Amino acid sequence: MWRLSRAIVHAAALLLIAALLVMDAAWGWWSWVGWVLYGAAGLAVLSAIFAVGIEPFILQRIWRYDVSEEYVQLKHGALTRVHVLVPMAKVEYVTTNQGPIMRKYGLYNLVIGTMASSHNIPALPEREAFSLREQIAELAQVKDGE
């Protein structure tokens, strides 16, 4: 899913750069414009190689979460490690959402909202996302009722 969505974005960017290069050749813009566009195309290709080929593998390996009666723990980050503890007493809502690409693969994002912020657990399978949503909602309701 991450590969497909990133491939679509990078393909659109490369098509835009190609269109600008064609217009540069047709209308003879300043000579430096062509060099800038070739540089942008090179950077877009390198970015596409990383975003489509390497980054999804890293994201899948580094995302971790755990739900206990007291906290929802989220761990992620390759270069900068992020460890977030969301107290169950602070959870106000838990929702799932999906876009068209995620729908194709049967995946959902789980969003845990507090008064101050919201936290996202990306690309969960449907059954896991719904059961986790219900589990967090029940634990947050129990903590809220105490």
At 42-59, the pLDDT tens digits run 999 999 999 999 999 888
Q: What percent of the chain has pLDDT over 70?
A: 97
Same domain? For 41 and 70 the reply is: no
Q: Of 45, 60, 75, which residue is a domain's last? A: 60
Answer left, alpha or beta for residue 106, where phi above 0 means left and psi between -120 and 50 means alpha: left
Domain with 30 in it: 2-60
137 in the same domain as 68: yes
Give the span between the Cα atoms of 54 and 144, in whole angstroms: 42
Domain co-membership, 48 together with 73: no
* Distance from C-alpha of 135 to C-alpha of 129, rounded to nearest angstrom: 10
In this prediction the pTM is 0.77
Helix spans in the chain (H):
2-27, 31-48, 55-62, 100-105, 126-145
Report the first-to-last Cα separation within the chain, whole angstroms.
Answer: 40
Tokens read off for 10: 């990078």
Three-state secondary-structure class, residue 94: strand
Whether residue 41 is found in the same domain as residue 7 = yes
The low-confidence residues of the chain, meaning pLDDT below 50, are none
